[in-house]
Structure 1
């Protein structure tokens, strides 16, 4: 299974040029599942469908951006899969009075993949973005993890969390997801694909070197993640590769770089 995640940067900048480059590049990457953030969907336009074409099933966030400075109307998140969806649900992440200006959410899709993969729960997680809102991101990560635990307990399968988490590996919200932090006596453990395949290399997906980057010194650099839930014996899917994509010259299509991950089922536990 090849997994791709990218914050598309909406329709900002030279959108038509960026769209053409994305379509060319994604054809070569040939992902099976894609999580996109900041896609624009309005009654007259569906950016994700234009980017991906007709070869994918799409699940779209319902409540989208409207009226926030710098964000186009209709901006939200999209999950795409070459395999059909079962259940699709959204987890409301407006958990404090500081998140009202942002359509933060987690879009959860049940992907019905063929054997030997089987059911894959995909959580396209898009929490609060503001630099000083880590308390909100922690609450949001815990809310998502609790809901995913309930889902997988009732309907077992793999669980992948992916998206623009607006926090790096040292943040409490990401440390919680990777099993290094406890929230109200509750913990989970997800294995980062980047950490599994690049154990000695710091992740950077939001960098001043990006020609589309408008923030000269944003403190958090590795903010886009793909991670798989661990069972008692470790991750249920093994990341065989994790590459930064849309990051070189004309391949760059957004103010974020993307990640492409190849997964295979983990061998049965001893």
Structure 2
């Protein structure tokens, strides 16, 4: 690219329709305040929820996984991965999660013919790193298939020392392959950056149920980029919390 293109990227797991429905208006207000150019959302209910979250934000180009997979069983349409952008995007690839519990998909789209946006939701179970590794390999294949800068953001359900994240960060190989994305938080974040933590009152009960621990803190939500200068990375939805996950925003310039 001959010129640098600045943008703000935001990722958030919105926890479908769990809890107080008034929090959806809070998410919408935060999106209006932050004015991101690209939003990657996970666990979004299919139907009116995406429109409610994005109303008045200027993110008028929107794709839910069920828009491009219209014949999914009802069980898998309840919530899923979504992408929203200010400029037009066209979905190029939809990849099924290597795990069957639950069925979330990875969406890839070319945005304004300038860059590739990839947003996954990976399997959450602590003993499913093998499936997360397979998904990371699939993501790397998508990246190499398109001769464009790539912005990759979502809920990866893995900490920075996990093999899937180390692979994406260029710190180790998988299956004889290597890749490299810049991790926005490592480049420009401040502090541990935990996004799924019992410090979040909306996460405590779910962590107790799923993980069985009363003291649990992990950084599992990420924004990655290639061919970009990352200038800031900030947690989103901490006080007040908007979901069981804290979100993440990053400012970057595509090179």
Is residue 167–residue 174 contact of structure 2 (8 Å, CA) maintained in 1? yes
1:91 aligned onto 2:95: yes
Number of the residue aligned with 1:204: 194
Which runs of 5 or more residues in structure 1 are unaligned?
Answer: 113-117, 230-235
Number of the residue aligned with 1:115: none
Please state whether the residue corresponding to 2:158 is helix, strand or coil. Answer: coil
Please state whether the residue corresponding to 1:47 is helix, strand or coil. Answer: helix
Number of the residue aligned with 1:79: 83
Number of the residue aligned with 1:227: 224
Note the C-alpha offset of 1:220. 5.9
Matching of residues 38-187 of structure 1 within 5 Å = 38-41=43-46, 45-53=47-55, 55=58, 56-62=60-66, 63=69, 66-67=74-75, 74-94=78-98, 99-112=99-112, 119-150=114-145, 152=146, 156-187=147-178
CA distance in 2, matches of 1:228, 1:192: 7
Note the C-alpha offset of 1:14. 0.7
- TM-score when scaled to structure 2? 0.87
1:110–1:167 Cα change, 3 Å: same
Note the C-alpha offset of 1:101. 2.6
CA distance in 2, matches of 1:25, 1:111: 23
Is residue 65–residue 74 contact of structure 1 (8 Å, CA) maintained in 2? no
Note the C-alpha offset of 1:67. 4.3
Which runs of 5 or more residues in structure 2 are unaligned?
Answer: 1-6
CA distance in 1, matches of 2:235, 2:196: 11
Can you list the C-alpha shifts for 1:27-81, whole angstroms capped at 9, x where unaligned? 110010000000000xxx321111002632001102568548xxxx511010000
Q: How many residues align?
A: 236
Note the C-alpha offset of 1:88. 3.4
Is residue 96–residue 103 contact of structure 2 (8 Å, CA) maintained in 1? no
1:66–1:87 Cα change, 3 Å: closer
Number of the residue aligned with 2:4: none
CA distance in 2, matches of 1:203, 1:58: 28
CA distance in 1, matches of 2:198, 2:94: 32
CA distance in 1, matches of 2:92, 2:216: 34
Please state whether the residue corresponding to 2:12 is helix, strand or coil. Answer: strand
CA distance in 2, matches of 1:143, 1:79: 18
- TM-score when scaled to structure 1? 0.82
Can you list the C-alpha shifts for 1:124-158, whole angstroms capped at 9, x where unaligned? 011111110001110111012112211x2xxx221
Q: Please, which moves more after superposition, 179-188 or 1-10? A: 179-188
Is residue 59–residue 88 contact of structure 1 (8 Å, CA) maintained in 2? no
Is residue 59–residue 109 contact of structure 1 (8 Å, CA) maintained in 2? no
Note the C-alpha offset of 1:159. 0.2
Note the C-alpha offset of 1:219. 5.3
